[in-house]
Amino acid sequence: MGRRWVFLIGLVGAVWLLGSGHGGQQPPVTAAQRCFCQVSGYLDDCTCDVETIDRFNNYRLFPRLQKLLESDYFRYYKVNLKRPCPFWNDISQCGRRDCAVRPCQSDEVPDGIKSASYKYSEVANNLIEECEQAERLGAVDESLSEETQKAVLQWTKHDDSSDNFCEADDIQSPDAEYVDLLLNPERYTGYKGPDAWKIWNVIYEENCFKPQTIKRPLSPLASGQGKSEGLCVEKRAFYRLISGLHASINVHLSARYLLQETWLEKKWGHNITEFQQRFDGILTEGEGPRRLKNLYFLYLIELRALSKVVPFFERPDFQLFTGNKVHDAEKKMLLLEILHEIKSFPLHFDENSFFAGDKKEANKLKEDFRLHFRNISRIMDCVGCFKCRLWGKLQIQGLGTALKILFSEKLIANMPESGPSYEFHLTRQEIVSLFNAFGRISTSVKELENFRNLLQNIH
């Protein structure tokens, strides 16, 4: 008798709820809810929540970071877009105008950057110039000071060491050119279809740790790519980094989409349909929101790396060397303000859980991690759209630099307060890519707020 009364009371309550307020119907699910369902609260493998990241990034960090990235030191990036694809020969080049990259003319790049393209300061630049002069003579220059020779040998050894997660361009190559990132922004170029899918398919199938049972279709827009159950925390993190980068790039393309083109001008803006196609919970069978959460995970990883590398940039002999001393000093001050803001973030990712098990197994896993990522950096030379290749290479190098920092904590802690740092250093290329890559992720988080507002206004 008691169970029957409980059942009847529950039934009456359910009927009352269904009939109240909506004429017997559930409230419609909005487009924003479909895209952003589950994109809230705590992130897997983290103690941080999405809302905290949104507030910190959008209102405290994003405006100052954009100002820094517009400065001369960070806007000019040297890249070789002519390197051949090392994996297949049937690469088809994108013929669209928006796929093209306009390199800088020689007089457009500040002299300080051109003369110090490899290292980050005037002192380091002088050492490298001496080294290059000796190399051109074809023998060791006995006039080099002992300290200079030691620095050159240490830097060369370090650049070829196993600490690097990316196979970087040879910026001394005649094919390497400076590109003004502000004049070649990342946006939708029309590069899509099988050629574009092939790049992501190779990255996911051959380079992402995953259970053998998972099958991923050729098109990255299809479902079934986000399952990472059964992986250890390191392999799960690797997959989520790549998925997060993929998601971030798709956010950029959707936010800077060619909406209208006339013979007078092009109109770029937010394409809500494109965004929904990539992230709507229904259209992606639940994968879209997971991809967005992986974007936040990537944000935390790069944020943590920047907080760890603060001592490197605080050293008095480091400068953002462009040749303009007043400008360089101002930008270093802004850089340090941003880094200390990042360091104050209350819920940083705890990287101590990485490779914390058996030492032999941990070292093997770390090496696998590094080799997988280096392979992905080589795949960027197979991208048929040059603008996509430019931003792909930059963001992969930036993420690789972030990983290098996270795995170099002891080396950073042991750096001398002044003078050359033999054990840990960053080239100018690494610095520019590190901050621009994080700037792209920061922009994605900001754009998610814009898309959320646009989608809510649809209904």
Per-residue pLDDT, 459 = 62
348-314-331-423 Cα dihedral, nearest 10 degrees = -90
CA 38 – CA 292 distance, rounded (Å): 9
Where is the binding site for FAD, in residues?
187, 189, 200, 243, 246, 278
Q: Please report where in the chains the tokens 């899918």 appear, as a residue.
A: 197
Mean pLDDT of 174-188: 93
DSSP-H helix ranges across 309-427: 310-314, 325-343, 359-379, 386-406, 409-413
Name residue 79's beta-bridge partners: 177
Rounded CA gap, 42 and 324, in Å? 44
Lowest mean per-residue pLDDT among 46-50, 101-105, 273-277, 288-292: 46-50
Residue type, 147: E
Mean pLDDT confidence for 348-368 = 74
Of residues 118 and 348, more confidence is placed in 348
pLDDT at 10 over 50: no
Greater confidence (323 vs 120) lies with 323
Across the chain, what does the average pLDDT equal?
79
96 CB-side CA count, 13 A: 14
Query: Rounded to an integer, what is the distance from CA 79 to the centroid of its chain?
Result: 17
**422 pLDDT above the threshold of 80:** no
Nearest C-alpha neighbor of 282 from the set 28, 33, 27: 33
Residue 151 has pLDDT above 70, yes or no: no
User: What gap in Å lies between CA 241 and CA 295, rounded to an integer?
Assistant: 8
The pLDDT of residue 122: 52
Question: Mean of the pLDDT values across residues 222-240?
Answer: 64
pLDDT band per the 50, 70, 90 thresholds, residue 440: very high
- Would you mind telling me the total number of residues written for the chain in this entry? 459
Q: Six-digit token pair at 208?
A: 């992402």
Lowest mean pLDDT among 85-99, 208-222, 406-420: 208-222
pLDDT at 214 (0 to 100): 40
Predicted confidence at residue 337, as pLDDT, reads 97
Cα–Cα dist 107/105, whole Å: 6
Greatest CA span in the chain, whole angstroms? 102
287 C-beta neighbours (distance < 10 Å), count: 22
Q: Which two tokens stand for residue 95?
A: 């013929």
Q: What pLDDT score was predicted for residue 19?
A: 37
| DSSP per position, 21-71 | SSTTSPPPPPHHHHHHTT-SSBPTT-S-BHHHHHHIIIIIIHHHHHHHHTS
Q: What is the mean pLDDT of residues 270-294?
A: 92
- As beta bridge partners, residue 77 has 179
Query: Using one digit for the tens of pLDDT, what is the confidence trace for 39-84?
Result: 887 787 777 889 999 999 999 999 999 999 999 999 999 999 999 9
CB atoms within 10 A of CB 386: 21
> 317 pLDDT band (50/70/90 cuts)?
confident
Q: Predicted confidence band at 213 (pLDDT cuts at 50, 70, 90)?
A: very low
Nearest one of 161, 159, 184, 163 to 77, comparing CA atoms: 184
Q: Given pLDDT bands bounded at 50, 70 and 90, which one contains residue 164?
A: confident
Q: What is the mean pLDDT of residues 277-303?
A: 92
What pLDDT sits at residue 236? Answer: 81
Q: Which two tokens stand for residue 297?
A: 């995970």
Predicted pLDDT of residue 128: 47
- 367 vs 81, residue with greater confidence: 81
Sort residue 355 into left (φ over 0), alpha (ψ -120 to 50) or beta. Answer: left
- The CA-to-CA distance between both ends of the chain, in Å, stands at 47
In this prediction, residue 369 carries a pLDDT of: 80
Q: What pLDDT sits at residue 17?
A: 33
- Which residues are catalytic, by number? 385, 388
Binding-site residue positions: 187, 189, 200, 243, 246, 278
pLDDT band at 12, cuts 50/70/90? very low
Q: What is the DSSP letter of 381?
A: G
At residue 64, the pLDDT reads: 97
Q: What's the CA gap between 186 and 208, in Å, rounded?
A: 24
Q: What global pTM score does this model have? A: 0.82
Q: How confident is the model at residue 231 (pLDDT cuts 50, 70, 90)?
A: low
